[in-house]
Amino acid sequence: MTTPATRHQLTTNDHSVAVTIQQHATPETEAGNVPMKIREPWSGWRLLYLPSLLDHLLGHDQARRLIHGIKVAIAIVLVSLLYMVDVIHDRLGDNLMWAIMTVVVMFELTSGGTLRKGVNRGFGTLCGGLLGMLVALWAHDIGGWGRTVLVSFLLFIICTAASYFRMIPNIKKGYDYGVMIFILTFSLVAVSGVRGDQIIKQANDRLSAILIGMAISVTTNMLIFPVWAGDELQASLESNFKSLASSIQGTVDDYFKPVDEKLEGQPLDTSKGCKSVIHSKASNESMALFAKWEPMNRRFGHCYPWDDYLVIANLLRNLAISILSLRDCRRYKNQGDSTDEIKKQCESMSDSIGSMLTKLGAHFHNRTKSVAADDVDNLESHKQKLFKLICHLDIDSGNEDDIEGAQIAQFLLVLINIIDRMEELVIKVEELGKAAAFS
């Protein structure tokens, strides 16, 4: 006997999938004695949710590394299968091994990184191969010792010039890999072509093999669970906003704790989030560079203002440095007698900045426009209150109480500096929303 089909909800981190399950009842299950076993039919489309499943089982970073390894292995297997096809092997021969090398050296985690390396490798190989082939043909026409002198001289001149241009900052940032491949390809073709009889065929076969490796690498990376650099940069900035929101609130709260509570309780490390933001500079710049090479996907276009993202990332790092400087103010012993008014104003300010950072992170996540005017007015109000508190501190006579007042004044001045950086940040986020056409 079969019970009616039941619709169950299969939930993963990012997806919710309805699965229809046919339940088979037995006399025992109908009597309620034995739990009914549920069998979920297998279907290939459920592989689409493999990343979410691996995220749940292994964690995001481990799952992403595993999927990247699987994609690299798939690309290498596909190239290896081409090597075993007689028609292709008869055409390219052992030069097809260059396709395997191409897959290994140009496969990156993100689709933009792989595409960038592929374009650089393609142009570097093409230009280096053509120039090397011309040098080899010219040397063949000369013959004798003149051939050796000519090849050596041109190798010296061209490799020197290419290495020089490779060190120029703008070229090194965007085209370093392409120039390196140009030097490698030119040298190999020019030198090997001196003693080779079929220079043009050999160069053509190697170029064809490299193009095959590039095509398989880019196709595999962009079609099998692609990782978009634009999404990675977006997620990184969202995380930085949240980290700084919790860091500033925790730092201000910890500053006003009595000394005995600090000694008895577990020390609160509020610097971890700030340090992670500061150390994200290289990663953010790489992701922005790779994102510029990515084709238009579901959220980002070709002319997306990635440079504005880097400006905001830099402002977040400056804000993190200012928050870290508050920790130096916490090292004084006599800060437990601070007035309730100072504590109230500082905690109000930190809560306000924390909520602003959280709200800005939500705007990034939802890609919605933010309005800076209200936030700037709120920040200015907090700044004026902190200035008034500093003016009421008596720090001129030099006794012990005044030393404590100077310590509190230092803390308040750092908070004012944080407010100035926040004002700049909220204005820049509003400008980004307009430039990126947030809704």
CATH of the domain at 251: 1.20.58.220
More confident residue, 141 or 177: 177
Same domain, 84 and 199: yes
Same domain, 68 and 215: yes
Is 202 part of any domain? yes
- Give yes or no for residue 430 having a pLDDT over 80: yes
Same domain, 279 and 173: no
Q: How far is the C-alpha of 188 from the C-alpha of 314, rounded, in Å?
A: 43
* pLDDT at residue 196, rounded to an integer: 62
* pLDDT at residue 399, rounded to an integer: 56
Same domain, 391 and 271: yes
Last-in-domain residue among 223, 240, 262: 223
Same domain, 258 and 195: no
Same domain, 257 and 389: yes
> What are the CB-based long-range contacts (under 8 Å, 24+) for 360-363?
360/241, 360/425, 360/426, 360/429, 361/237, 361/238, 361/241, 361/242, 361/245, 363/429, 363/433, 363/438
Is 1 part of any domain? no
Kindly state the average pLDDT of the residues 26-34: 42
Last-in-domain residue among 205, 223, 241: 223
Which helix (H) or strand (E) segment is 437 a member of?
A: none
Helix (H, G, I), strand (E, B) or coil at 154: helix
Q: How far is the C-alpha of 420 from the C-alpha of 115, rounded, in Å?
A: 40
Tokens of residue 115, six digits: 């595409």
Tokens of residue 429, six digits: 């986020």
Is 267 part of any domain? yes
Q: Look at the alpha carbons of 137, 143, 146, 152 in this order and tell me if their dihedral is positive or negative.
A: positive
Is 54 part of any domain? no
Q: How far is CA 433 from CA 189, 229, 273, in A?
A: 50, 19, 25
* pLDDT at residue 365, rounded to an integer: 84
| 251 close to 196: Cβ distance less than 8 angstroms | no
Q: How far is the C-alpha of 35 from the C-alpha of 113, rounded, in Å?
A: 51
pLDDT tens digits, one per residue of 254-292: 887 766 555 555 555 677 888 899 999 999 999 998 988
Same domain, 42 and 126: no
Model-level pTM?
A: 0.77
Domain that residue 280 falls in: 229-435
Cβ neighbour number for residue 363 with a 10 Å cutoff: 20
> DSSP per residue over 227-248, as a string?
--HHHHHHHHHHHHHHHHHHHH
Nearest to 302 by CA among 291, 310, 313, 312: 291
- Determine what percent of the chain is predicted with pLDDT higher than 90: 30
Kindly state the average pLDDT of the residues 351-371: 89
Same domain, 247 and 303: yes
Same domain, 166 and 105: yes
Same domain, 14 and 88: no
Which helix (H) or strand (E) segment is 422 a member of?
A: helix 400-435
Which helix (H) or strand (E) segment is 21 a member of?
A: strand 16-21
Dihedral angle over CA of 82, 88, 90, 92, nearest 10 = -90
Is 80 part of any domain? yes
pLDDT tens digits, one per residue of 59-80: 677 888 888 899 999 999 999 8
Q: How far is the C-alpha of 156 from the C-alpha of 360, rounded, in Å?
A: 55
In the block, tokens 């404590």 appear at: 404
Kindly state the average pLDDT of the residues 85-98: 82
pLDDT confidence of 241, banded at 50, 70, 90?
A: very high
Q: How far is CA 13 from CA 52, 53, 57, 222, 410, in A?
A: 6, 8, 11, 22, 45
Q: How far is the C-alpha of 105 from the C-alpha of 113, rounded, in Å?
A: 12
Give the least confident one: 94-108, 145-159, 399-413, 425-439.
399-413
Helix (H, G, I), strand (E, B) or coil at 370: coil
- Give yes or no for residue 20 having a pLDDT over 80: no
Is 56 part of any domain? no
Give the least confident one: 25-29, 226-230, 262-266, 332-336.
25-29
* pLDDT at residue 405, rounded to an integer: 73
Helix (H, G, I), strand (E, B) or coil at 9: strand
Same domain, 134 and 174: yes
Is 53 part of any domain? no
- Give yes or no for residue 15 having a pLDDT over 80: no
Last-in-domain residue among 223, 251, 268: 223
The count of domains in the chain is 3
Same domain, 152 and 215: yes
| 164 close to 200: Cβ distance less than 8 angstroms | no
Is 332 part of any domain? yes
Q: How far is the C-alpha of 348 from the C-alpha of 292, rounded, in Å?
A: 41
